[in-house]
Amino acid sequence: MGISITDRAKQELKKMEIGESNFLRISVIPGGCSGMTYSAAVDSDRKDNDETLFQDEEICVVAEEGTDMFLDGLKIDFSDDLIRRGFRFSNPNVGGSCGCGASFSG
């Protein structure tokens, strides 16, 4: 399983204190017009069923075991455009997505 994070997204994650003791937790939750959406949060508490999705010298990303079918191929980017500033999650391996890109189907 693999995810990728752009350099721009890494810079923004470091601003959010992702690093030594904190990591990014990604979840797949029901929601949106296509059925599922990604959720991300800064966390410092590892659980027994966590899997490491990405690890380099500065950034660590984890998710709950069993969500790999929705996360494999995920790309995390950051955009600072005027209309929709923030992190962008894109995955070419999902079944489909809604028009705004906020949710997806398996």
What pTM was estimated for this model as a whole?
A: 0.80
pLDDT for res 103? 46
Report the Cα 28 to chain-centroid distance in Å: 9
pLDDT for res 98? 47
* Burial of 49: CB neighbours in 10 Å, binned 0-12, 13-18, 19+: exposed
Angle at 93 between CA 29 and CA 2, to 5 degrees: 85
Report d(CA 34, CA 101) in Å as an integer.
Answer: 9
Which CATH number is 4-94's, of 3.30.360.10, 3.75.10.10, 2.60.300.12, 2.40.30.30? 2.60.300.12
Residue ranges of the chain whose pLDDT lies below 70: 1, 31-34, 94-106
Strands in 96-97's sheet, in edge-to-edge order, are 50-55, 60-64, 23-30, 36-43, 104-105, 96-97
Domain boundaries, the chain: 4-94
Q: 13-30: per-residue pLDDT in tens? A: 999 989 878 999 998 887
